[in-house]
Chains A and B, each alone.
Chain A
Amino acid sequence: DTGVSQNPRHKITKRGQNVTFRCDPISEHNRLYWYRQTLGQGPEFLTYFQNEAQLEKSRLLSDRFSAERPKGSFSTLEIQRTEQGDSAMYLCASSPSPETQYFGPGTRLLVL
């Protein structure tokens, strides 16, 4: 068990480009969460998967954002037509139960 991994760790892109992030949860964790964190703030919930089903989406997840978890294993978060306001740390977490969440190291996105 190597913990939750996220790739890439850093991404710099130009406004208008599409980006995709990947999260590999701890094996056998059926719950997976995505959060966004801006400087000086706590993480904000984006979306939640139980196995392959996306059960909850925040209003923060605009039409430009989409998340998938095919086969209930890894997950991807795609941002289309990136804007400067999308610059943030994107955190993924997994858990085996509705309690402690195990966080990955995050993907830091900078939109120029």
Chain B
Amino acid sequence: KQEVTQIPAALSVPEGENLVLNCSFTDSAIYNLQWFRQDPGKGLTSLLLIQSSQREQTSGRLNASLDKSSGRSTLYIAASQPGDSATYLCAVDHTGGFKTIFGAGTRLFVKA
């Protein structure tokens, strides 16, 4: 049974700091891995999707890496801003798009 774990559960950093969020999964036979952002009381917004054959994806200040063999992914956020404050969720998919398994998320607070 796939389990997705995210560390840390919560993180508070001053504005401008670079930071890394971690995600680990127990079954390396994944189809893809996604990072989502969720603002309080809202739905999820996809940030980056990494296919199983890829090692990393970049979008603006965000960079996500994937190491399938070790069951790990990291989300790197450069030059953090208060607007980055949200919960970041990691999700893995085995079967081509359904039964996506999510981690519990990392709650990020960026202080101005």
A interface residues with partner B (beta carbon < 8 Å) = 4, 31, 33, 40-45, 48, 55-56, 58, 89, 91, 93, 95, 97-106, 108
Contacts and interface: CB of A to CB of B under 8 A. Distances in A.
B65 interface: no
Contacts of B43: 4, 91, 103-106
Interface residues of B, number: 25
Contacts of B41: 89, 106, 108
A45 B44 contact: no
A99 B49 contact: yes
Interface of B: 4, 31-32, 34, 36, 41-46, 49, 89, 91, 93, 96-105
Contact of B105 (A33, A42, A45, A108): A42
A46 to B, nearest CB: 10
11 contacts: A42-B104, A42-B105, A44-B102, A48-B99, A58-B99, A98-B31, A98-B97, A100-B46, A100-B49, A106-B41, A108-B41
